[in-house]
């Protein structure tokens, strides 16, 4: 698939996730096969008002691979100005490959300001936002949406058409409504409906946790690519596995050594960027994902949450190297 001039062999994309997809997560995901990554969402108004902390979230590093910066807001002028500043590299580091518009975040503090997935209720406003940005920047503009606001208003095809009319180069569709948040099951049929409604690339998102679910999403929706969020936490090698399957090569699950090495790399990248104390504090929740399916995960997670230094965190993660303990682990059987 292609986003502007960016060619992606399989369209394997790391989804933007607030509190998770910082540089460390993007870098390890790219190293494990993600062809494209997206930053955490940043506030357009915060960028325009000169907030000093916000640009840090938008800073892109060479190890992130082709990376888009995601912005949220509801005012076309603020959104366009923020897009201009970010596309010109005001966050430092690499310039973004694209600007992504968040029309999918379901949390009340965002939707309460008519931002995020609240834009699902205002296709005309989303059109104006996309158009305003596209007229002011030269890099691709993409949009991430949901199935709709609620079950009574599953209007993703209409919203996607508005985005396309405004000049969007691609649209990613999470198969849940705003009301559903992250509960229940993603509706891949609505992704298929969007695919039929627009001519730009459509990226499917929601409930991709392994090779089987990735292939099923592609088959049921006809999507051009796959955006993976929670399914990549603690297992960035999911991108490598899906890529192998799509190329007809043997799918080789990550070994305990690979998981341990990548978890440590993620920790150390964060430490290099933010310092030891912040890296340890901010990595607890993320690194605990690496222990999914481990028979003694509770005890191991407790050690991670109790760790106060990088060495203590690495020692807690070393449980991943106990190969014999993985024989009863359903999600990752070695």
The residues annotated with a catalytic role in the active site are 105
- Give 3-state DSSP helix, strand, coil % of the chain, rounded to 5: 50, 15, 35
Q: Are 120 and 148 in contact (CB under 8 A)?
A: yes
Distance CA 21, CA 159 (A): 26
Q: Report CA-CA distances (Å) from 38 to 15, 99, 322.
A: 6, 9, 33
Distance CA 86, CA 95 (A): 8
10 Å CB burial of residue 92 (0-12, 13-18, 19+) is exposed
Structure tokens at 308: 């106060």
Q: Largest alpha-carbon pair distance within the chain?
A: 58
CA neighbor of 245 nearest in space, from 214, 266, 269: 214
Distance CA 123, CA 240 (A): 36
Query: Count of residues for the chain?
Result: 334
């Amino acid at each position: 698939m292609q986003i502007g001039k960016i060619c992606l062999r399989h369209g394997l994309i790391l989804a933007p996730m607030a509190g998770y997809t910082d540089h460390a997560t993007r870098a390890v995901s790219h190293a494990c096969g993600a062809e494209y990554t997206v930053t955490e969402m940043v506030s357009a108004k915060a960028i325009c008002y000169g907030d000093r902390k916000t640009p840090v979230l938008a800073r892109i590093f060479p190890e992130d691979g082709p990376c888009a910066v995601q912005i949220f807001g509801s005012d076309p002028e603020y959104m366009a100005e923020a897009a201009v500043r970010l596309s010109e590299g005001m966050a430092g580091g690499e310039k973004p490959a694209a600007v992504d518009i968040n029309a999918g975040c379901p949390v009340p503090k965002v939707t309460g300001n008519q931002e995020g997935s609240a834009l699902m209720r205002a296709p005309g406003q989303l059109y104006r936002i996309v158009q305003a940005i596209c007229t002011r920047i030269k890099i691709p503009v993409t949009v991430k949406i949901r199935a709709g606001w609620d079950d009574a208003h599953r209007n993703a095809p209409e919203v996607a058409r508005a985005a396309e009319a405004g000049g969007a180069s691609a649209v990613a569709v999470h198969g849940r409504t705003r009301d559903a948040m992250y509960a229940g099951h993603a509706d891949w049929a609505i992704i298929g409906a969007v695919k039929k409604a627009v001519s730009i690339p459509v990226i499917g998102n929601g409930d991709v946790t392994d090779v089987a679910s990735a292939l099923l999403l592609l088959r049921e929706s006809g999507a051009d690519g796959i955006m993976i969020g929670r399914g990549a936490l603690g297992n960035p090698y999911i991108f490598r596995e899906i890529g192998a399957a799509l190329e007809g090569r043997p799918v080789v699950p990550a070994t305990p050594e690979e998981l341990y090495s990548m978890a440590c790399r993620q920790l150390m990248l964060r430490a290099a960027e933010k310092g030891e104390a912040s890296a340890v504090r901010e990595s607890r929740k993320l690194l605990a994902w690496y222990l999914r399916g481990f028979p003694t995960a509770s005890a191991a997670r407790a050690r991670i949450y109790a760790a106060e230094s990088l060495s203590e965190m690495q020692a807690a993660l070393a449980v991943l190297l106990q190969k014999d303990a993985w024989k009863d682990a359903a999600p990752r059987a070695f």
